[in-house]
């Protein structure tokens, strides 16, 4: 894959990529747990990928000082981006925070930081899994 100049991409573009990247990790996790029925996959995936879940994860990352300064700047770029789409099942603030969350994944993915993407995804899946139990 070609490495992108993340500094030239807007927060929405970064979030667009990051949404897909994080979703793949969640899907792999659910399938590895033996969940195979489409309805159950969707129900379980929402626990990880909803705007509320992503806002919770950002709060946890901030509490644990898990994000680098660079990642925080890309989070803010995504959070502060003006989107034409609106939140479906949450408030605007939570939706914007989740856009920032996705921008962090997009930034790392598009700049070839695959180990960091995996580290972020593992952290997120663990945090949500602990919350579900």
Write down the pTM of the prediction: 0.92
**Residue 19 falls in the annotated catalytic set:** yes
Ordered by where they begin, the domains of the chain are 6-132 (1.10.1520.10)
Nearest to 99 by CA among 119, 82, 116: 82
pLDDT of residue 83: 75
Nearest to 14 by CA among 118, 110, 120, 117: 110
pLDDT digit string, tens, across residues 34-56: 999 999 999 999 999 999 999 99
Q: Which of 19, 28, 64, 91 is catalytic?
A: 19
pLDDT digit string, tens, across residues 59-71: 999 999 999 999 9
Evaluated on CA atoms 56, 122, 81, 19, the torsion sign reads negative
């Amino acid at each position: 894959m070609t490495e992108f100049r993340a500094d030239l991409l807007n927060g929405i573009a970064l979030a667009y990529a990051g949404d897909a990247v994080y979703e793949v990790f969640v899907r792999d996790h659910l399938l590895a747990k033996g969940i195979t029925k489409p309805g159950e996959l969707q129900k379980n995936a929402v626990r990880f990928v909803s705007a509320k879940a992503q806002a919770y994860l950002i709060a946890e990352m901030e509490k644990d000082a898990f994000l680098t300064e660079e990642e925080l700047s890309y989070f803010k770029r995504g959070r502060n981006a003006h989107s034409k789409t609106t939140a479906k099942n949450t408030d605007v603030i939570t939706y914007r925070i989740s856009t920032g969350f996705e921008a962090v994944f997009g930034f790392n993915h598009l700049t070839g930081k695959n180990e960091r993407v995996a580290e972020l995804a593992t952290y997120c899946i663990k945090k949500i899994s602990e919350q579900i139990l």
